[in-house]
Structure 1
Amino acid sequence: MAAKPLLINASGQPSYGVFPDSIEQINYMDFDLRTPMDRKLSNLSKRFKFNQFQFIGLISPELIVGIAIVDLKIASNCFIYLYEPDTQQFEEFSFIQPLALNTRIEPFPNDGEATFRKGDNRVSFKATARPGVRKVSVSLTSGLTIDATIDESTSYNPLAVCSRAGYQGWVFTQKSNALVCNGQVSWKNKTYDLERIKALASVDWSCGFMRRETFWNWGSLSCTLPDGRRLGFNLAAGVNETGTSENALWLDGKLIKVDMVDFQFDRYQPKHAWAMRSNDGIIQLHFEPKGQRKEKMNALVAASNFTQHFGQYYGEIHLPNEVITLDGEWGFSEDHYAKW
């Protein structure tokens, strides 16, 4: 993979579109950030207006894990949750650091590290371009530990997109789903071998100068089909639809772009099913939530109304040469309002 070296060009503007080989460095401090009235903003303003977050999902029929590190500069947040479908056992952990203390996300999507620490609770994601792995490490005072390695060397075709956000901003995101992983999760006196339970990973690496107020709906799947092929998708609406979208599916690592997706759901009925349909007819699915992680925060300068569901997908994916039927495969959906 020969990635484009820098996102921001010599004129201080980002390159927009889809990058088949990704981006090496998000050199956001080189961006010519201005107010809507064209006044240049300082480097300090750039630092505080630049938002970053990463989410990693580990999914199998035996265990669902969601892990995130979020850096909003005025504060940072880290959460981890686990769900065991057979027993419906669920546990979540959430930590906040004012002024993003002990939080760092390096601007290298495929060769950088994200870390969060609060007391003796530590979470890190570390990507290395060679040999092409992303290591996930979680160690909490509760006794929860996660030591996982995600393979990004075999059939690795991430969807990397940069699009406009509002009048003067932009968003970069890199998504990949249905990635092979191995390692262990130790939770509540039980150890899960990720390779044995055939867990697959999804990775969301996002950053940018985002709209002051924004929202998105999101759907994500990583599963192994009955014939042994790995299937994953990333579907979204509300944040990256200015010229392109972040909608795609992966079949055994091959990336297939998907058109705009309509999400139909009732946010006040969290147990009701969602419908997801793409304009090109590829996606014809519904999602049945089995549980959720929910968080609301309303401060003077920032706010968030966040609901991430884990549950099962049903329906059809229509490809040129076949129709893939989903019958209860596990994944995520999300409804999120944010004011940064």
Structure 2
Amino acid sequence: MKNLFESGKPHYGRFKVVPQCIDIHDFHYISPFKRHITGLEKNLRFKSFQFISLNNSQYMVGLAVVDLGWVGHGFFYCYDRQSGKVLEKSFLQPFGQHTHVCNHQVGSSSFKKSSFLIEIKKTASGRMVKVRRGKHLLLDASIAIEDTEPLVLCSPTGASGWTYTHKQTALSVTGNLYFNQQAIDLKSQQFVAALDDTCGILRPETAWHWLSLSGVESTGQRLGLNLASGVNETFVSENSLWLNGKIFELPAVLFEQQAKNQWRVYSADGRVELSIETQWRRHESKNFGVVASQFNQWVSAISGRVGCQDKTVKIEAQPGLLEQHYARW
């Protein structure tokens, strides 16, 4: 697919390939009262972000470049599940200054605030990621995507909006993580990565739950999981399982908190039945009136089962991420 838009309207559905071009200027934005929305108002309503996670059995790394129009946001964290040590950096830029999110198939995204810098270079075969704080390199990673089928979809949102997402999980990664005064080789330490590129004219007030898992089983099989509730539920669903790079669609699920550190995620037909034990949490609560965000992202241990075609995939304490997010933007 060359362009997500045709005659000013987005293509809807699940796709096999990533669109080469996603340009908000190609979208004809019309309000429910048939008013054409253009210029600054259109740009402020357009939201886009790129999130990347990397993990093995010990470490969980998360980073993002976010452009919400009103504000730009960049964050990075590394959590050691064994020692409990955390490195976390998070910064805001008013009106998206020094914040750029590339929504095309190929290009560069970045966030800069003072001496903190995130750079993400997108190519047709993967991602090259660097995170710096002053002279200190925090992450230098290359992520390969060619051997994994992508989750690519666009769905109608609200009265006249749309949501696009491209996600991939259990991706191979090379490079180095710099944490706790040591250089950690991502390949030899068997790290895997997950990508989440999302953009669109989202609901001005929205809330969602999201679960992501990337892992390698004892048999050597690469296992990936993406589940969501509250987003992309019109016409298509982003719920998916990956086995050795092959993607399978899953049914709708419900996220249910059962105790402070315990969640259940399950489907009505019984195909998905997961128990989530939450650990360290990345948390932000900001209310600026016009925009507000209540964000929780837990490093988690995921167990349970997922029915896939004619077999059941069992999951035993695999590391992953559970997210609960409320936003007014």
TM-score scaled by length of structure 2? 0.97
2:75 aligned to which of 54, 69, 79: 79
Point out the structure with the larger strand share.
2
Alpha carbons of 1:329 and 1:142: their partners in 2 closer, same or farther (altered >3 Å)?
farther
Match of 1:315 among 304, 308, 314: 304
Aligned to 1:128: 123
* Partner residue in 2 for 1:5: 2
1:264 aligns with 2:259: no
Partner of 1:177: 169
Q: Which segments of structure 1 move beyond 4 Å, counting only runs of 4 or more?
A: none
Q: Deviations over 1:180-225 (max 9, x none)?
A: 1111001121111111111100000000000010011000000001
Q: Which deviates further from its counterpart, 133-142 or 111-120?
A: 133-142
2:287 aligns with: 298
1:299 deviates by 0.8
The answer as to 2:324 corresponding to 1:335 is yes
Unpaired runs of at least 5, structure 2:
none
Distance in 1, matches of 2:249 and 2:239, equals: 6
CA contact (8 A) 1:143 1:187 kept: no
Decide which of 22, 29, 50 is 2:25's aligned counterpart: 29
Q: Deviations over 1:269-323 (max 9, x none)?
A: 5x42111112443321111001100000101210000000001011112223432
Query: Is contact 1:102–1:118 with CA below 8 Å preserved after alignment?
Result: yes
* Whole-Å separation in 2 of the counterparts to 1:289 and 1:107: 31
Residue number in structure 1 paired with 2:233: 241
Determine the C-alpha separation between the residues in 2 that align with 1:17 and 1:324: 26
- Is 1:283–1:316's contact at 8 Å kept on the other side of the alignment? yes
Q: Residues of 1 paired with 2:126 and 2:161: CA distance?
A: 31
**Structure 1 residues 102-158: Cα deviation after superposition (integer angstroms, max 9, x where no partner):** 1111221x31221001112110111111xx0211110113835100000112x2211
Q: What RMSD, in angstroms, separates the aligned Cα atoms of the two structures?
A: 1.3
Matched, 1:289 2:281: no
Residue type of the alignment partner of 2:111: F
The partner residue of 2:108 within 94, 108, 113 is: 113
What corresponds to 1:156 in structure 2? 148
* Residues 184 and 191, structure 1, Cα contact 8 Å, conserved in 2: yes
Whole-Å separation in 1 of the counterparts to 2:53 and 2:119: 14
SS in 2 for 1:48: helix
Number of aligned residue pairs? 329
Residue of structure 2 aligned with 1:47, choices 38, 43, 60: 43
Give the fraction of aligned pairs with identical amino acids, expressed as a percent.
36
Find the counterpart in structure 2 of residue 143 from structure 1. 136
Q: Specify which of 91, 95, 98 is matched with residue 99 of structure 1.
A: 95
What is residue 64 of structure 1 aligned with on the other side? 60
CA distance in 2, matches of 1:26, 1:151: 22
* Aligned partner of residue 47 in structure 1, secondary structure: helix
- State how far apart, in whole Å, the 1-side matches of 2:107 and 2:145 are: 14
TM-score, normalized by length of structure 1?
A: 0.94
AA aligned to 2:126 is: V
Kept in 2: contact 1:29–1:47 (CA 8 A): no
Tell me the CA shift for residue 66 of structure 1.
0.6
Q: Does the CA contact (< 8 Å) of 1:144 and 1:187 recur in 2?
A: no
Would you say 1:167 and 2:159 are equivalent positions?
A: yes
Structure 1 contact 29–46 (Cα < 8 Å) conserved: no
Deviations 1:4-43 (A, max 9, x none): 0111112x11111111112111122121112221111123
SS at match of 1:5: coil
**Alignment partner of 1:212 is 2:204:** yes
